[in-house]
Structure 1
C-alpha cells in the first residue's frame, strides 16, 4: 500500500499551523506537543503529508478494529446521511433498533437492553447511575491500574495518574488492588495465590466499607491502557460471586476489550462471566462515528419499567453512529474479523512477541491475547525495575521516548504508556502486516536494551 496522495509538505505545514493556533489537545501541555499532520489512512496504515507511511500498532486509540476507511462502513454512513442524517432519541428509528439488536445478540447472558451514549466515559457514567438507583446505595469500588474515562464519575473511578488532578475524594469511589501477577501487590508466587489473595483483599475492602453501602464494583474485564493485565483464572468468577452475595452490581468495562479485540466478541467470554451491566464503545463501529453504550441485564432494566430513568443524551443512538455500528458488526461477521484477531494472536503476535522477549533484555513480560498485547519494559529482568519510573516525564522518560522514536523511524506507530508498549493493531491485520510490525519492534527494542543493566 502506498499513500493515496502525492507528498505535499506545504499543505501539511498549513494543517499543523492551524492546529497549533486553534486546537486544544487532551492530556497535553499545549506548548510542548508537536502533533503529526495526517494526510490519509487506509486499512492498518496511515501517512503524513511528507509521504511517510506508518503501520498503526495503536489502531487509533485502540478502536479501529476493522482498520481505517472500510468501504462498507463508509458507504453505510453516506447512505444513512442521505436518508435520515439525525433524529431525536425519544423515537424508534430503524437503524438505532437494528444496532441495539445486533449488539444484544452478541452480549453475554441477558444483557439485552441497550442504552446508547456518545462514548465510553458516558457509558461508565450511566452504568454507575443505574447501579446506584437500582441498589439505593452510593459507593462504587474500582481498581488501581485502570482507566474508565475522563468525565466526572469516570475519572474518579480511574485508577491511574490521570485521575489525580480531578479527584475530589467526594465521588463515593473506593479503590482496591486488582490482581497483577507480574507486579503483585500481594507478594504472590503463583496465579492461584494472586487470585485468592486479590479476592480476599476485595472482600476485606467491602467489609470495612460496609457491604450495604456499596452499589457497584466496576472493572475493566482486561485492563487496557493500564497494561493489558489478563486476570488469573477464577478471579472474575470470584468477583461475580462476591457481588451476588452482597447484592452489589457487577459492571464490566469492555470499552477497549470488546468487539473482537481479544479474539471474542467480548472479553468476558474468555472467563465465562456475565456482569449485570457492560459498557462498550470504540470497536462497536471502529470509531468511525462516536458511539458507546451500556448493555443492561433484565433485572436492572426492570427497575426502570415504571420508574423513569433520570438520564439521557441529545445524540443517544445517533443514526449515523448506529449505521456505522450496523455496518461494522456485519463486516466483522462476514469477514470473520473476530476469528482473525484470535488467529493473529495465537499464531503471529503472541509467538512473535515472546520471541522478541527472548532476544531483548529490556522485555520483562509479554501478556495479552487476540490483537491486545503489552510488552512490559524493564531496566533489570531480575528485579523487574521498570525501564522508566511510574508516571515519569521529561528526562526520566527519555528511554521510552527514544524507543518510540526508533519505532517511528522504522515505519511503526507505537502505543506507549509509562514503561510499556502495546501491540494493539486492527483486529483484521494480516499476517504479513503483523510480521512487519514485529520486525520494526525488534529493531526499536535494541534502543531500549541500551538502558538495561
Structure 2
C-alpha cells in the first residue's frame, strides 16, 4: 500500500493525479463531465488502493481480466527481464518468446487449434476471426447473439448484442442477431433447461434457413456470456451449435476473451463441454492484462486456407515481446500455483454456496448463476414476476437502485462489477477462501440497499 508517513502529501498527490486526468484523459463509455475517476495509488493480489490508503477488494478483476491478481511478482519480473533483452521487434520476425507463447496457448487449446495470430486485445481478435471466417468460406453474414459483447471496433461492435452497439450500429457488417438460451428470461417459453436448449437451437437453425445458409460465414458465441449476464449454456447447446455449423459449412467461433484462462475453473470455458470450435478468440486472462495482448487460435483447416494465399491483415504490435513474455509467465504461474484449480474450488465451495445463501436472505436476488470465479446475481423488483430491479439499459434516476448498491459496496471496501440489473461476482482466480468470504459479507450488507427497492 502507499506510505502513511505523510498522509497529507499522499492526498495531495492523489488530487494532482485526478486533476491531470480530468484535464487530459478522455475516458471510454463515459460522459466526460459527469464522471469522477478514483485515483489509484497501487495494487497487489486481490486488492487495490487509493491515495488515502483506502483499500478495495477487487470483485471486478478490473474488467474481468486480472485473473492472477494484481502485480504477480513472476509476471512483473518476466516483463522486466524481457525489456532488458528485447523490448520490441516487428511481427515478421521469429522471436523466441513469441514462439513459446504461441506454443503454450496452442497446447492448452482444444482439438486441432494449433496456430495463433496475436492481436493487442479482444476486439481485434474478434475482427480478425471474422475476417478469417469470411475469407475461408467466401460468405459474408455472421450470426451473433443479442445477449453478447464482442468489442468496440467496427465489426466487433456490430456483432455485439447489448446496447453499446446502438450508437455505432451502421448495419453494414452483414451481422444477424439471434436469441441464445437464457432459461430465467426465456424467449422460448421454456420451463426446463432441456426445453430451452432444444428451442434455442431450433430458433437458430430456422433463422439460418431464412437468411440463406449459403450466405452465412460464421456463428460467434461467447462460450459463457460475460458482460451480458454470465449466462452458462445449458447442456447440449454448444454441441448443438457445433452440429449446425458442420451441417451448413459455417465456421464456429468461440469468444473466450472473458471466459478463458481459468475464469470458469478450466483453462478454456469450452473445456467444460468438450466442444472444439474452428476459431477461438482470447485476451484478458492470457496475461491478466499486464501488457495489452489478445489473439485468435486457428484450426488446421482454416490455417490451410492461408498456406499459399496471403492473409490480408496484421498489426504493428502483433506478438509484442513484452506482452508475450507476460503471457508465458502467466501461463506458467497458473500451472505451477494451481490457479485454474483454485478458481474451480472457490466457485464450487465458497462463491456458489455463499451467493445462494445470500439469495435466500435477500428478496432482490432473483437468480444466482455461474461457475469458477465467474458469477452473477440477477436482481429483481419482484421474484414472482421477475421484473428487473432497473429497466433495460437504464440510466440516471431510473438506475438509482443499482447505483446505490454499487456505492454501498465501495463504501464498505469492495469494488463491484455492476451491469444493468446484475451484480457480477468476478474476483481474481487467485482469490483465497478468506477473501471470498470477506467479499460475500460485504455483499450481504450492501444488498440490503437493493432490497429496499423490491416489492
Q: 1:272, CA displacement in angstroms?
A: 1.1
Q: Which residue of the other structure, out of 286, 289, 296, is the alignment partner of 1:287?
A: 289
Q: 1:48 maps to which residue?
A: 50
Give the one of 386, 389, 393 matched to 1:387: 389
- 2:84 corresponds to 1:82: yes
Q: Does 1:201 align with 2:203?
A: yes
Name the CA distance, whole Å, in 1 between partners of 2:371 and 2:415: 20
Partner of 1:278: 280
Q: Distance in 2 between matches of 1:136 and 1:43?
A: 47
Aligned residues: 451
Matched position secondary structure for 1:274: coil
Q: Residue 404 of structure 1 aligns with which residue? A: 406
Counterpart CA distance in 2 for 1:132 and 1:17 is 46
Task: Supply the distance in 1 between the matched residues of 2:183 and 2:175 (Cα, whole angstroms).
Answer: 25
Render the CA deviation track for 1:91-114: whole Å, top value 9, x for unaligned: 000000000000001000000100
Number of the residue aligned with 1:311: 313
Structure 2 gap ranges (5+): none
Matched residue of 1:122: which SS?
A: helix
Query: Post-superposition shift, 1:119?
Result: 0.1
* Post-superposition offset of 1:4: 3.6
Cα deviation 1:23-60 (Å, max 9, x = unaligned): 00000000100000000000000000111100000001
* 1:153-204 C-alpha deviation (Å, 9 max, x unpaired): 0000000000000000111000000000000011101111100000000000
Provide the residue aligned with 1:15 in structure 2: 17
8 Å contact kept, 2:263–2:372: yes
Give secondary structure in 1 for the equivalent of 2:113. coil
Question: Equivalents in 1 of 2:175, 2:248: separation in Å?
Answer: 17
Partner Cα separation in structure 1 for residue 120 and residue 176 of structure 2: 26
Cα distance in 2 for partners of 1:407, 1:452 equals 18
* Aligned position for 1:425: 427
Return the alpha-carbon distance in structure 2 between the equivalents of residues 5 and 368 of structure 1. Answer: 38
Which residue of 2 is the match for residue 96 of structure 1? Answer: 98
- Offset at 1:406? 0.6
Instruction: Tell me the distance in 1 between the aligned counterparts of 2:39 and 2:450.
Output: 27
Aligned pairs for 1:362-373 within 5 A: 362-373=364-375
Q: Please list every run of at least 4 consecutive aligned residues from structure 1 whose deviation after the TM superposition is greater than 6 angstroms.
A: none
Match of 2:116 in 1: 114
Map of 2:162 onto structure 1? 160
Q: TM-score, normalised by structure 1?
A: 0.99
Aligned counterpart for 1:220 among listed residues 200, 222, 226: 222
- In structure 2, which of residues 433, 436, 439 is the aligned counterpart of residue 434 of structure 1? 436
2:171 to 169, 172, 178: 169
Does the residue aligned with 1:374 lie in a helix, a strand or coil?
strand
1:47-79 Cα shifts (integer Å, max 9, x gaps)? 001111000000010000000000000000000
Mark the runs of 5 or more structure 1 residues left unpaired by the alignment: none
What's the Cα RMSD here?
0.5
Query: What CA distance in whole angstroms lies between the structure 2 residues aligned with 1:321 and 1:51?
Result: 30
- Tell me, in whole angstroms, the C-alpha distance in 2 between the residues paired with 1:361 and 1:20: 39
- The DSSP-based 3-state class of the residue aligned with 2:43 is strand
Counterpart Cα distance in 1 of 2:248 and 2:309: 24
Q: Secondary structure at the match of 2:424?
A: strand
| 1:246 corresponds to | 248
Report the counterpart of residue 3 of structure 2 in structure 1: 5
How far apart are 1:5 and its partner, in Å?
2.5
Aligned-pair distance for 1:367?
0.2
Q: Is the 8 A contact 2:2 2:51 kept in 1?
A: no
Task: Give the aligned partner of residue 63 of structure 1.
Answer: 65
Distance in 1, matches of 2:419 and 2:127, equals: 24
Calculate the TM-score normalised by the size of structure 2: 0.99
Q: Which of these residues, 335, 338, 341, is aligned with residue 339 of structure 1?
A: 341
Structure 2 equivalent of residue 445 of structure 1: 447
Aligned 8 A contact 2:112 2:300 in 1: yes
